[in-house]
């Protein structure tokens, strides 16, 4: 297996950094999946109550040079477990550099341990970040999650507005109910927090309803279904999702599976991100 690439566009590096920084606030580790035309950042938590994250990016939009040799011709991929926080710390000084020329990534081995080496050309500086190579037998654990057919989709209001509300809610409780209604001409969204001592509700009206139900890159798109749905989730999980505001998404679509989960799409020109929030199962 071999991997090396080079970035020379500062705008691309900033976008790459922003995505990594966003993921670092959501999870301690993630899997960096490398393919010939795309690369992915994947978070698959072991706890059933934890969200999964799937970020997909086209390599040609970020790298000026990109050389990859996978396991073999039949499986031309590499799966690497990384700590995104370590990468962001290594990349951060570049953002303020006035004499930047290029940034190189290379899969190496140092002291018998695999590393992702970052070379900053103008500083003659190399960061060797320890990583773990994911064996091929475990690759099936990091495939794009499949979504159920019956779900209600809606365009979410600006994430900054949601973040302001959730910041207030999280000091008052641990759980929140999201209710969506797309039966009318426009969509409605309600955020509801209830406890023994307090009951709060925030309403959003006149939200756009997607005509096509977004299902992911490997699944066929379907005509959106109108209806109502309600999902009870952990406030902390929803607050983690709101860190994706850093990506400055062009649109954010939420698919509700009644009583089971919320599947969120964050779409930027160069970044396609999916975030899965499971429902709290009442016993």
Domain CATH code at residue 180: 3.70.10.10
Flag whether 233 is in a domain: yes
Last residue in a domain, options 112, 142, 172: 142
Check residue 148 and give its pLDDT. 67
Instruction: Mark whether 118 and 58 lie in a shared domain.
Output: yes
Check residue 194 and give its pLDDT. 87
Domain range for 83? 2-142
Tell me the pLDDT tens digit for each residue of 96-148: 777 777 899 999 999 899 999 999 877 678 899 999 999 999 998 888 877 76
Check residue 94 and give its pLDDT. 83
Flag whether 147 is in a domain: no
Rounded-to-integer distance, Cα 244 and Cα 138, Å: 28
Flag whether 283 is in a domain: no
Q: Are 142 and 77 in contact (CB under 8 A)?
A: no
Q: Are 43 and 269 in contact (CB under 8 A)?
A: no
Instruction: Mark whether 127 and 165 lie in a shared domain.
Output: no
Last residue in a domain, options 117, 142, 167: 142
Check residue 216 and give its pLDDT. 55
Q: How many domains does the chain have?
A: 2
Q: Please indicate, yes or no, whether the overall pTM of this predicted structure exceeds 0.85.
A: yes
Q: Which residues of the chain have pLDDT under 50?
A: 48-50, 220
Alpha-carbon distance values, 151 to 12, 32, 257 (Å): 34, 29, 5
Check residue 49 and give its pLDDT. 45
- 90, exposed or middle or buried, with CB in 10 Å at 0-12, 13-18, 19+? buried
Flag whether 232 is in a domain: yes
């Amino acid at each position: 297996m071999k991997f090396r690439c080079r970035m020379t566009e500062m705008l691309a590096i900033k976008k790459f950094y922003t995505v990594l920084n966003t993921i670092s606030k959501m999870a301690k580790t993630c899997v960096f999946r490398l393919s010939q035309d795309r690369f992915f950042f994947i978070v698959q938590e072991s706890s059933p109550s934890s969200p999964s994250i799937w970020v997909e990016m086209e390599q040609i939009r970020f790298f000026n040079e990109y050389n990859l040799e996978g396991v073999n011709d039949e499986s031309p991929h590499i799966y690497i477990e990384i700590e995104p926080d370590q990468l962001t710390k290594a990349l951060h000084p570049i953002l303020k550099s006035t004499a930047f020329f290029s940034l190189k990534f290379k899969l190496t081995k140092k002291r018998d341990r695999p590393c992702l080496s970052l070379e900053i050309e103008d500083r003659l500086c190399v960061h060797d970040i320890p990583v773990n190579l994911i064996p091929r037998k475990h690759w099936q654990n990091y495939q794009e999650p499949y979504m159920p057919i019956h779900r209600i989709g809606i365009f979410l209001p600006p994430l900054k507005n949601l973040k302001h509300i959730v910041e207030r809610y999280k000091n008052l409780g641990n759980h929140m109910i999201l209710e969506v209604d797309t039966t009318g001409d426009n969509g409605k969204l309600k955020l509801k927090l209830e406890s023994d001592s307090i009951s709060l509700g925030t309403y959003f009206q006149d939200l756009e309803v997607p005509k096509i139900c977004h299902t992911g890159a490997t699944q066929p798109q379907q005509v959106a279904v109108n209806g109502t749905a309600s999902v009870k989730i952990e406030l902390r999980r929803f607050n983690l999702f709101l860190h994706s505001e850093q990506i400055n998404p062009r649109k954010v679509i939420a698919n509700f599976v009644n009583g089971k989960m919320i599947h969120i799409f964050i779409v930027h020109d160069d970044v396609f991100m999916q975030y899965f929030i499971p429902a709290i199962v009442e016993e």
